Amino acid sequence: MKIIGSLTEISRQAAKWQRQGLKIALVPTMGCLHEGHLSLMRQAAAVADRIIVSIFVNPIQFGPNEDFGSYPRQFQTDCELAEKEGVHAIFSPESKDMYGDSFQTKVHVAKLSEGMCGADRPGHFDGVATVVLKLFHLTLPDFAVFGQKDFQQLAIIRRLVIDLNLKVEIIGCPIVREQDGLAMSSRNKYLLGESRSQALCLSKAIQTARKFVAESQQQVPAATVISQTREIIAQAGGKLEYAVVVNETTLENETIVTPQSMLAIAVKIGGTVRLIDNARLFPEPE
């Protein structure tokens, strides 16, 4: 496995593989890899001949009061985990190389970035869209693999690819959870003591909502699902940032739960740890 920090070198390597007729899959990450990330690499291996994993804590997607400086980093461990999954190259550039002193350009996906996390984290998705587009240009992927936990991000990247006619297929992979239901996240490392069990309120709210929809004999108002979710989060002592029922493609708020409805939640646990989770509400087709 190659470890590459140079933008020029990763571009040359990707172009070489492309000339050889090899399919490339990119798995963009910010490091601190866990089983969720590893599942993305396995999916990449199923569709491509060469796998590139980017490890880059992207400064332009963090707000001024967010955790850029303290975001968990474990580069050596990450490299070992990726190599065990058969990854062919780690791309880990420096911020100064990705964004020079005169960097002025950002990518803005307008409508999809307005609500949910976009409302609470202004500019966040501009930073995401910008770095993803740069990664696509540098690594020349035929496929890019993302997790569905960052549900809004995935929708924005799909829109970016369509709108800019990019020749990359976006693959979304299911959320990977701990045995107790907590969605895997690099930020779970922040959860200490009681906050770890408190964080289960997100998955509990989702499970409750899905059960309610499955057992209902009539149309379910989105407001009812949101009210139940608020109550569960409040009982656990979490601080709800949002709970919405939206269409999985347009991210528009829905009034009635449909097969395309997603419940998406963002909660602060212990006052500082921001976690997100989501799930389709309607029972999956058999």
Q: How far is CA 42 from CA 1, 18, 38, in A?
A: 15, 21, 6
Candidates 34, 37, 108, 124; catalytic one:
37
Does the predicted model carry a pTM greater than 0.85?
yes
Q: How far is CA 141 from CA 27, 44, 99, 138, 156, in A?
A: 9, 11, 21, 9, 18
Query: Hey, is 240 helix, strand or coil?
Result: strand
Question: Are 2-173 and 186-280 the same fold in CATH?
Answer: no
Pick the CATH number of 2-173 from 2.60.40.10, 3.40.190.10, 3.40.50.620, 1.10.10.10: 3.40.50.620
For residue 151 the two structure tokens come to 């549900």
Domain boundaries, the chain: 2-173, 186-280
CA atoms lying within 13 Å on the CB side of residue 176: 19
| Interatomic CA distance for residues 128 and 101, integer angstroms | 19
In CATH terms, is domain 186-280 a member of 3.30.1300.10? yes
Whether residue 37 lies in the annotated active site: yes
Q: What is the pLDDT along the chain (286 residues), one digit of tens a residue?
A: 999 999 999 999 999 999 999 999 999 999 999 999 999 999 999 999 999 999 999 999 998 888 898 898 999 999 999 999 999 999 999 999 999 999 999 999 999 999 999 998 999 999 999 999 999 999 999 999 999 999 999 999 999 999 999 999 999 999 999 999 999 999 998 998 899 999 999 999 999 999 999 999 889 999 999 999 999 999 999 999 999 999 999 999 999 999 999 999 999 999 889 999 999 999 776 5
**Residue 285 confidence (pLDDT):** 60
**Residue 101 confidence (pLDDT):** 92
Using alpha carbons, select from 16, 14, 111, 114 the residue that is nearest to residue 54. 14
Q: How far is CA 102 from CA 60, 129, 160, in A?
A: 14, 19, 24
- Number of other residues whose CB lies within 10 A of the CB of residue 162: 10
**Residue 65 confidence (pLDDT):** 83
